[in-house]
Amino acid sequence: MEKIRIEIDYTKCGESGKVDPRDCCKCLRACDPAVFIMHETLGVEQDPIDPQLWRITPVWNSLCTKCMKCVEVCPEKAIRVWW
C-alpha cells in the first residue's frame, strides 16, 4: 500500500498566508473522504478572529483517493499531494 503525503503551504493559506481558510474552505468541500480539518493554530494566544490563527490540516491521509480535487480547487495552489 502506497503512503500518500499531503502538504499545505501555510505561506499561501492560513497563518502567514494571504487567504483566511475560513472564507475559502474549497478543499474541505471538494474532498469526499474528508481528509482535511480546519482548526485554530495551537499555542498562539492572539485575536481569535485573526486569519493567521486558522489552518487546514490533512489528518486522515490514508483515506485519500488521489482524485486531486483539493489541488484543483485551491485558488492559491497551496496543496501538494504525492505518493
User: Domains in the chain, start-ordered, CATH in brackets?
Assistant: 5-82 (3.30.70.20)
Report the predicted TM-score, pTM, of the whole model to 2 decimal places.
0.83
pLDDT digits (tens, 9 = 90+) for 22-58: 889 999 999 999 999 998 777 666 666 665 678 899 9
CA–CA separation, 37 vs 63, rounded Å? 13
CA–CA separation, 41 vs 52, rounded Å? 8
pLDDT digits (tens, 9 = 90+) for 58-76: 999 999 999 999 999 999 9
What local confidence, expressed as pLDDT, does residue 19 receive?
A: 83
C-alpha cell at 22: 475560513
Q: Is the pLDDT of residue 82 over 90?
A: yes
What local confidence, expressed as pLDDT, does residue 51 receive?
A: 57
